[in-house]
């Protein structure tokens, strides 16, 4: 499954482009711009599974670094600071990774 099966290519391009500058990533604005906030819980879970590259059932810190590339190949890597901020926002149980339910909560809180 591709990200464009769930979200519009135009929305993805705009959202990723809006955060192309280093240290500019804001997950709340990004999820809203990309259209994820308006999607059903099932679609949010589909996006989660696309971002879970190693299919572990979690998005770990090393996968979060490449979250924009998960939406489009020409997305930039997040900085360590941005990655840690995203992990801190999403990791509700403190296990160092984001599960599907935590991801859904993160998107809903945006």
Residue 43, annotated ligand binder? no
What the block records as the tokens of 82 is 């941005």
Residue 54, annotated ligand binder? yes
**Cα dihedral 77, 104, 31, 109 in deg (nearest 10):** -120
Residue holding tokens 């900085």?
79
| Number of alpha carbons in the 13 Å side-chain half-sphere of residue 92 | 10
Residue 91, annotated ligand binder? yes
Residue 62, annotated ligand binder? no
Residue 109, annotated ligand binder? no
Residue 56, annotated ligand binder? yes
Residue 97, annotated ligand binder? yes
Q: Tell me the binding residues for Ca(2+).
A: 52, 54, 56, 58, 63, 91, 93, 95, 97, 102
């Amino acid at each position: 499954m591709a990200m464009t099966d769930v979200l519009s290519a135009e929305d993805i391009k705009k959202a990723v482009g809006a955060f192309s500058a280093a240290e500019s990533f804001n997950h709340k604005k990004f999820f809203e711009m990309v259209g994820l906030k308006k999607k059903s819980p099932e679609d949010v879970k589909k996006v989660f599974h696309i971002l879970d590259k190693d299919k572990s059932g979690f998005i770990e810190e090393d996968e979060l670094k490449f979250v924009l590339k998960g939406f489009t190949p020409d997305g930039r890597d997040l900085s360590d600071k941005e990655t840690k901020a995203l992990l801190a926002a999403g990791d509700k149980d403190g296990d160092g990774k984001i599960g599907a339910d935590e991801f859904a909560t993160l998107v809903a809180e945006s």
